[in-house]
Amino acid sequence: MENYLITIIGPTAIGKTSLSIALAQHYNCAILSCDSRQFFKEMSIGTAVPNHIELSSATHHFIQNKSVFERYSVGDFEKEALAKLDELFLKSNVQIMVGGSGLYVDAVLKGFDDFPEIDSKIRTEIHSKYDTSGIENLQKTLQELDPDYYNKLLSENPQTLQNPQRMKRFVEICLGTGKPYSSFINQKKNNRTFIPIIIGLEADRDVLYDRINQRVDSMIGEGLLAEAEKLYPYRQLNALQTVGYRELFDYFDGTITLNFAIEEIKKNTRRFAKRQLTWFKRTENATWFDYLMDRKKIIHFIDGQIRNTNSST
């Protein structure tokens, strides 16, 4: 019997959690979260972690299982997620994965390139250089050390050149190994023990943006300000370079007002959702549904995909 990983993708605030629970209950299986910020137990409100009712409605994995003080990479997640899936598939041949972190989705579905360990001193130097010279220095360094990959990003995915965490990683690999970052990617991947069925959720832009604005207001009402204030002393940590926290840290610094910070959270979350859609729309073999689509119709589609696969094998 084939194993199937139903993977739900889409922008933030689109309703992925509620669909994942409905599917998990229907197929009597577990849910793996691949939201790279919901891993951290200190971040709850600002990362829209499923509430107690949602968590009790289905078995969840990789929700608040790490600390912001731990170093946890996408490669670590890939290994742990695949091991957990092997365990879960012994119980049921259908499992669910859900989340808005495209890189983490790709790592599980397609495999993550194998990078060597880098000396922590190099990492510290890169972070320090970024703090003093900004992202332009990272861009220039990558262009010098790996011009092919820099030009590929410039033409195919220019927003990545503006992502500090990704750029630090590229430069870290180049400096730490003495080889271009691109020499480590697109290596032979391990075979997967499952067939992915990818479900995308979408909505009209105005609808999505309204849902995002409402979610931010709800987060503020639920106590996001107090949550961010507890984390403020550790604002330099990678996990806290996150929309919803960065803006409030600026408010605590006294550089902006609270109202302005809230509006910035809404604006930056909308921009983040746009980047998510750009990423996910490139996902091969994804089938997209309106976020209000009847769950029964989505289940009917999934069942058809499973039947078609079984009949062809």
Q: What is the pLDDT of residue 115?
A: 77
Cα distance between the two ends of the chain: 10
Angle between helices 295-312 and 16-27 (to 10 degrees): 60
3-state secondary structure of 156: helix
Distance CA 196, CA 174 (A): 33
- For the chain, helix, strand, coil in percent to 5 are 60, 10, 30
DSSP character for 124?
H
**Cα Rg of the chain, angstroms:** 20
Question: For the domain that residue 253 is a member of, what is the CATH number?
Answer: 3.40.50.300
Q: How many angstroms separate the Cα of 300 from the Cα of each of 18, 99, 214, 262, 270?
A: 17, 22, 31, 40, 32
Does 10 show up as a binding residue in the annotation?
Answer: yes
Confidence of residue 230 (pLDDT cuts 50, 70, 90): very high
In degrees and rounded to multiples of 5, residue 244 shows phi and psi of: 105, -30
91 and 163 part of one domain: no
The reported pLDDT for the residue numbered 261 is 98
* Residue 188, pLDDT above cutoff 70: no
pLDDT in tens, 189-218: 568 999 999 999 999 999 999 999 999 999
Same domain, 158 and 210: no
12 is in an annotated binding site: yes
Which of 150, 166, 184 marks a domain boundary? Answer: 184
Q: Which candidate, 252, 290, 270, 280, places its Cα nearest to that of 216?
A: 270
Q: Is 223 marked within a binding site?
A: no
- Indicate whether 310 pLDDT > 80: no
Residue 261 is assigned to a ligand binding site: no
Report the pLDDT value the prediction gives residue 120, as an integer from 0 to 100: 85
Residue 106 and residue 36 share a domain: yes
Same domain, 158 and 252: no
82 plus 225 within the same structural domain: yes
Q: Three-class SS of residue 118?
A: coil
Do 126 and 144 share a domain, yes or no?
yes
Residues 21 and 107 in one domain: yes
Q: Domain range for residue 125?
A: 120-184
Question: Which ranges of 146-257 would DSSP assign to H, the alpha helix?
Answer: 147-156, 164-177, 205-222, 224-231, 246-253
CATH number of the domain where residue 130 is located: 1.10.20
Nearest in space to 127 (alpha carbons), one of 244, 282, 241, 243: 241
Q: Is 48 annotated as a binding residue?
A: no
DSSP run (H or E) holding 158: none
**Please, what's the b/e burial string for 235-251 (b: 16 or more CB within 10 A of its CB; e: otherwise)?**
bebebbebbbbbbbbbb
Q: Is 177 annotated as a binding residue?
A: no
Structural domain count of the chain: 2
221 annotated to a ligand binding site? no
CA distance 217 to 265: 10
Instruction: Tell whether residue 239 is among the known ligand binding residues.
Output: no
CA distance 169 to 193: 29
- Whether the predicted pLDDT of 30 surpasses 80: yes
CB 127 within 8 A of CB 121: no
- Averaged over 142-161, what is the pLDDT? 93
Single out the residue in 184, 209, 234 at which a domain terminates.
184
Amino acid 250: pLDDT: 97
- Asked if residue 102 lies in contact with residue 280, where contact means CB atoms within 8 angstroms, the answer is yes
C-alpha–C-alpha distance, residues 124 and 262, integer Å: 32
What pLDDT, on a 0 to 100 scale, did the predictor assign at position 157? 86
pLDDT in tens, 33-85: 999 999 999 999 999 999 999 999 999 999 999 999 998 888 899 999 999 99
13 and 64 in a single domain? The answer is yes
Alpha-carbon gap, residue 266 to 128, rounded angstroms: 29
